[in-house]
Every structure is written in structure tokens, then in C-alpha cells.
Amino acid sequence: MDKSKPPRAALMVHAGAWDMPAEEREAHRQACAAALDVGWRRLAAGGSALDAVEQAIVTLEDDPAVNAGQGSVLTREGWVELDAGIMDGVTLEIGAVIGLRTAQNPIRVARSLLGADHVLLSGAAAEAAVRSGGHATLPPEAFVTERVRERLRAWQAAAATRRPGAAPADTVGAVAVDALGRIAAGLSTGGACGKPSGRVGDAPIPHCGYFADTRLAGVAVTGWGESILRLGLARRAAELARENGAQDAAWLAIRELEDRVGGRGGLILVARDGSMGWAFNTPVMALGYRDAEMAGPVVRV
């Protein structure tokens, strides 16, 4: 990475890495394309990296095809518990929420906690932040779609026969660097299908599911949360970008995830100069990217 070059604006989004059924891939491609379009328009209009990340993730949360917001998978009890986190790479401030049941856009609630006295809230405290912040809400039953009911039924059938399932991991995320070199990263998820109520994965945990530092990179992760937590994957990938190119740093981090803890997943990474990288060790990852030097966006599933 050439640290002497001025930064160029760049945005990456993802909609998960897993053994994605063929019939779901086009919906994930469209979700990434829409999020990339919204986030890039915000960057192109002079918005900050934080603005772009938030807007891209809001777009994904509003898409019922992916596991965040209105498409979130269900707990064993048949309800959603929504997690989200966001990080400002300039100040290193974070905001995160765990176990929300009514927030339409958990990432907005997470961003509202940047600079607050308490920045990682769960359960009742997180729900109180939804109410006090005037954030849009939905009744819990509005999140329970036929798609996620079917996922829960499949998980229950696999659990009953002790057969491992495909472990879908279509958590959504975004990372961006703006024209001023500011970096931001964020994630939003419904978590793991069939999880026990109260289970927390990597998505709301800074340095694990997401990380941003203008001196290094922005990273957003997806995959098997328990293994990602053990490695602190997002921070590890950003550290690797200090001495490696963005693409090499991404691959080295995913290789370490597999070699050290047997983890499966993927990540997207934007380095301080706007260079981009991604890597995954699952069959499929849905992602999109664009920078100021490209003629248009690229989306791949």
C-alpha cells in the first residue's frame, strides 16, 4: 500500500458468506447493488464515511432477503433479536446494540450511541435507546416472514436428527473511506438461526465483527461468530493491512481464521488509501464495491 498517495473515496458492502442456495443468490446480488448505490450517492454528494456506511446498511436492513432488520432469522423461540455496531475510524468511537426486538433499523440506533456515556447496550437498555432516540419501530411479529420461518423449520429438523445445517451467515456490513480519508465500518444482523435467546455473536462487538481506524483500514466481517470472536478478526485484518496490500491482508486474515480456530466466513476491507480487498472460505459471498476511479459499481455473488 502506497501511504504517500492521497485517499480516494471507496465503499464496500456485503450480504453474507455461506453455502448460499442458488435460488437466493440473485436477491442477495440485488440487495448489495441497492445498498452500494445508496451509500455511494451519499459519498459522491460529500457525505462522510459514517454517512455512507449507515445509509448502505439501512438499505440492507430494509430488504427482507437478507439476515438483518426486516429479514432477520429467528431464535429458537420464534422471535428476532437484532444486533448492530458501527465505528468511526477518526475518533475510534463505537456504538452498538444487542438483542433489539422492535427497531426497524438497528444501525441507526447504534450510530446514535457514538460519543454517548454508554456505547454498547443490550436488552432493555437497548430498547430504551430506541424509544428515547425516536427511532422507527415495528411490532415484533412484523419481522417474522415465511422465509425466516422456513429457515427455523430447517434448523429444527437438522437439530432433531443431529445433522449439521448449512449455517447461513448472511449478516450485512459496509466499510467506507471518504475523500477526506475518514474511515468507518459497521454491521447489522439477526444472528444465527435457531440461536438461544441472549446469544451474542461477533456483529455488535468492535474489533471482532467490525473495525475502523483511519491509520489502518476499515473491515466488516461475516460468518461463524463464535470463531470470529476468538480471533478478533476485524482488528486482525486491519493490522495486516499495515504492511500488506488490502487484498493480501484480507486473504491472510481469513487464512488465519481457518488455520487457528477452524472458522468459516468472509470479510471486506478498505485501506486508508482507498484500496479494497475481500476474502472468504465459504462457497459463496455476496458483496459489492466502488471507488472514485471506477466507471461504475461491481457486485458479485
DSSP class of residue 203 equals: T
In three-state form (DSSP H/G/I as H, E/B as E, the rest C), the secondary structure along 60-96 is HHCCCCCCCHHHCCCCCCCCCCEEEEEEECCCCCEEE
Backbone phi and psi for residue 238, each to the nearest 5 degrees, phi listed first? -65, -40
Annotated active-site residue 161? The verdict is: no
Choose, from 59, 171, 214, 282, the residue flagged as catalytic. 171
User: Rounded distance, CA 215 to CA 241, Å?
Assistant: 10
Q: Which amino acid is at 125?
A: A
Residue 166: Cβ-neighbour burial (10 angstroms; 0-12, 13-18, 19+) = middle
Entry field: residues in the chain: 301
Catalytic residues: 171
